Amino acid sequence: MLDIDNIRRQFPIFSTTTKTPLVYLDNAATTQKPLVVLERLQRFYSYENANIHRGIYQLADDATRHFEKARSRVAQFINAKYPDEVVFCSGTTEAINMVAQGLRKYLSSDHQLVVTAMEHHANFVPWQTVCNQTGARLRVIAVKPDGTLDRDQLDAAIRQKPAVLALTHISNTLGTINPVHEIVALAKEHGVITVVDAAQSIAYDHLDVKDLDCDFLAFSGHKAFGPMGIGVLYGKEEQLARLEPYQQGGSMIIKVSEESTTFKPPPHGLEAGTPPVAEAVALGTALDFISGIGLSKIKVHNHSILLYAKEKLSSLQGVQQIGPENETSSIVSFLMKDIHPHDVATILGESGVAVRAGHHCAQPLMQALNIHGTVRASFTIYNNREDVDQLIDALKTVEKVML
């Protein structure tokens, strides 16, 4: 059992004294930051700040060392074979763009790329764009009315040996957990390059890229108690080496002449310009924070809050939950009869309950489910049953005000 009171005390945002205490249920959008992470950022900028990989003085050397240590920490956290399989970038969005554009030179109208209808736009639009650029075809796997993938369709598509399969581990909208191990294994059998969007799973479950055996995996630091502006592209050594650097500039070159440029090998060859050094270092601290609590405990806690929320929501007559009954993470999406999701979220917000409403950057999923949007509550380690009770009370107010 987690000591939630103790955990909450480590997050300054919950200690602010406003009239209505914050009930933060928008963790799928971004998590709050614990003091250790904030202090690490401040320490870097206060006492350790220098640019990396270029200084020849002690401060710059130390900054480089902290940055590279963070890379090793990430590699250890996801069980990568080598630290150099970890590329720092701004987030999941940049990581996926890096792969899509990095593979562009290999793609043509002979190729098919497979995504699913439940992807966040970050794992959909970059593939659509590279298809438009190269003539490759984009195959979108259907989502069933219960919010799970159409596995027959997906498996059949994999057997046709597409060039790439890009798939989310956990749906940011419905919380659906896709059986990525099984799906990646099938894709491997057919020689398909696999890209896993782990934005919603990095702080929910143990990720072991060796065991998962995917070619690429992407996540954002800010969804794992780390800073915004830092994210990770993991890639198998040989797969990263195939990527064309999608940005060029300083830091990533070996030699530049008027005629031509040679690039460094990954990861540095894919990290053009000055990276968010303090943020990378603080991401390492965020991962330490998660490990200190223990992902297994986090998962059990988050899931138990989810089940409590689902049960409470099902006791409200006008509420319809959207998404699978089981196999979900710590996200619940719902609709209130005859009330627009934005109106629900606005009234919840006035009661201090922060949720997300809308299409959740997943418009193809909305089209598949034939809805315009949902209200989404997402939970993590600092949420407790009282938070859920306040959500339910606020939803009763919504009904009173709107109906």
Q: Which residues bind ligand PLP (CB under 6 A)?
A: 28-29, 91-93, 120, 122-123, 168, 172, 197, 199-200, 220
The residue among 217, 242, 113 whose CA lies nearest residue 165 is: 113
CB of residue 342 vs ligand PLP: minimum separation in angstroms? 18
CB of 101 to ligand PLP, least distance (A): 15
Rounded to a whole number of angstroms, the minimum distance from the CB of residue 388 to ligand PLP is: 21
Q: Which is nearer to ligand PLP, 172 or 383 (CB)?
A: 172
Q: Is 361 a catalytic residue?
A: yes
Pick between residue 227 and residue 267 the one whose CB is nearest to ligand PLP. Answer: 227
* The dihedral formed by the CA atoms of 106, 111, 117 and 123, expressed in degrees to the nearest 10: 0
Q: How far apart are CA 379 and CA 333, in angstroms?
A: 12
* Spatial contact of 403 and 339, defined as CB atoms under 8 Å apart: yes
Nearer to ligand PLP, 100 or 339 (CB): 100
Contact 401, 348 (CB under 8 A): no
Which one, 31 or 93, has the nearer CB to ligand PLP?
Answer: 93
Strand partners, 183: none
CB of 230 to ligand PLP, least distance (A): 10
**What's the min distance (Å) between Cβ of 99 and ligand PLP?**
13
How far, in Å, CA of 176 to CA of 147, rounded? 7
CA dihedral 333, 336, 337, 339 (to 10 degrees): -120
How far is the C-alpha of 168 from the C-alpha of 303, rounded, in Å?
19
Q: With respect to ligand PLP, which residue has the nearer C-beta, 31 or 168? A: 168
Q: How many CB atoms lie within 10 A of CB 79?
A: 14
The helix/strand count (H/E) of the chain reads as 14, 15
CA dist 93 and 233 (Å) reads 10
State the minimum distance, in angstroms, from the CB of residue 269 to ligand PLP: 22
- Give the CB-side neighbour count of residue 314, counting CA atoms within 13 A: 9
**For ligand PLP, the closer CB: 126 or 384:** 126
Please count the other Cβ atoms lying within 10 Å of the Cβ belonging to residue 256: 12
* Closer by beta carbon to ligand PLP, 28 or else 217: 28
First to last CA, the chain: 40
Provide the minimum distance between the beta carbon of 361 and ligand PLP in the complex, in angstroms, as a whole number: 6
Q: How many residues belong to the chain?
A: 403
Given 3-state DSSP classes, what are the helix, strand and coil percentages for the chain, each rounded to the nearest 5?
A: 45, 20, 35
Nearer to ligand PLP, 9 or 359 (CB): 359
How many Å apart are CA 234 and CA 75, to the nearest integer? 8
Q: How far is the CB of 175 from ligand PLP (least distance, A)?
A: 11
DSSP code of residue 270: G
Partners of residue 339 on adjacent β-strands: 336
**CA torsion through residues 250, 255, 258, 260, sign:** negative
Distances (CA, A) of 328 to 200, 305, 307, 323, 371: 11, 12, 10, 8, 20
What residues are labeled active site? 361
